[in-house]
Amino acid sequence: MEQELQVIEVSKKDPAAFQPLYEKYHEPIFRYIYQRTDDKEAAFDISQQVFVKALIHLPRYAFKGVPFSSWLYRIARNEVYRSIEKNKVQRTLNIDVDALKGLLHEADADEGLIQKEKNLTVCLGQLAEADMQLIEMRFFESRAFKEIGQILELTENNAKVKVYRILEKLKKCILATR
């Protein structure tokens, strides 16, 4: 992390020095965007915008105890939603089966697994976008609460509270959807 911070500081004065950061984070940022758009061309365009904005705003970046990638993911998140609103890019959610089972376990809804999976899929579709972002980051991307808070500009504690409230909503929805 020390070395990365040094590269960031040099990049603030010399944009050409940003290349190692671009090379390190382009692939994960692209995947993050692609998972949300399911459109390869749109994902490439949005990824490009993320790194252009990161480079432009790099002088304002300040280390806050979380990885530089959290700052990039926040920019990516904003660009995805800007693109969804502006260009009518379709928002998608790619769900890993194991992550879905982990979410079901957290929601602690007791009934048959196949039925729970169907009910959970219906309930996820009913969540507000902000709630879906939290669930997606926590369960489908396995992000720590601290990183989620940094990306969404929340405190770590607030991210935890919100996720557990959403889990309660999902539990009630799963049990009501029979």
State the Cα–Cα distance between residues 77 and 33, nearest whole angstrom.
8
> Which amino acid does the sequence have at 46?
I
pLDDT at 56 over 70: yes
pLDDT at 11: 92
Kindly report, residue by residue over 90-146, the tens digit of the pLDDT. 666 555 556 656 666 666 544 555 566 677 778 888 888 888 888 888 887 888 898
Q: To 10 degrees, what angle do helices 145-152 and 68-87 make? A: 50
Of residues 165 and 37, more confidently modeled: 165
pTM of the model: 0.66
Q: Domains (ranges, CATH) in the chain?
A: 2-87 (1.10.1740.10), 97-176 (1.10.10.10)
pLDDT at 59: 93
pLDDT at 61 over 60: yes
Give the whole-number percent of the chain exceeding pLDDT 90: 35
Residue 164 in contact with residue 101, Cβ under 8 Å? no
pLDDT at 105: 65
Nearest one of 92, 118, 117 to 103, comparing CA atoms? 117
